[in-house]
């Protein structure tokens, strides 16, 4: 890999963020990413079936434990009593 001065010469006068992107990724990918605009910051759980399932399960008061298990992933939720406020 070229040294920093050589990379700066190749990439040109850009922000540090653009410099890091262009020094580590092909320029076409950086351009495509920039053209796509910023990533969505709004997360819609209703579009995610696993989260929708979790919300439905958590709404049930008759369940005290929920476990999801698959290769490489395990989620265990346990309902505890609400803390007593003095």
Residue 7, burial from CB neighbour count under 10 angstroms (0-12, 13-18, 19+) = middle
Give the pLDDT of residue 46: 65
Per-residue pLDDT, averaged over 5-11, amounts to 87
What DSSP string describes 3-72?
Answer: -HHHHHHHH-S--HHHHHHHHHS-HHHHHHHHHH-SPP----GGG-HHHHHHHHHHH-TT-SEEEEEETT
Helix or strand or coil: residue 76? Answer: strand
The pTM for the full model equals: 0.41
Residue 86: pLDDT band by 50, 70, 90 thresholds? low
Please give the structure tokens belonging to residue 45: 């759980």
pLDDT tens digits for range 29-85: 999 998 999 887 777 766 778 778 878 888 888 988 888 898 998 989 888 877 666
């Amino acid at each position: 890999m070229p040294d920093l001065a050589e990379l700066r010469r190749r990439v040109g006068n850009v922000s540090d963020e653009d410099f890091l992107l262009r020094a580590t990724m092909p320029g076409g990918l950086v351009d495509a990413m920039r053209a796509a605009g910023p990533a969505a910051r709004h997360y819609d759980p209703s579009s995610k079936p696993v989260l929708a399932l979790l919300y439905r399960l958590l709404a049930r008061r008759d369940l005290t434990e929920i476990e999801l298990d698959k290769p490489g992933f395990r989620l265990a939720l346990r309902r505890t009593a609400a803390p007593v406020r003095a």
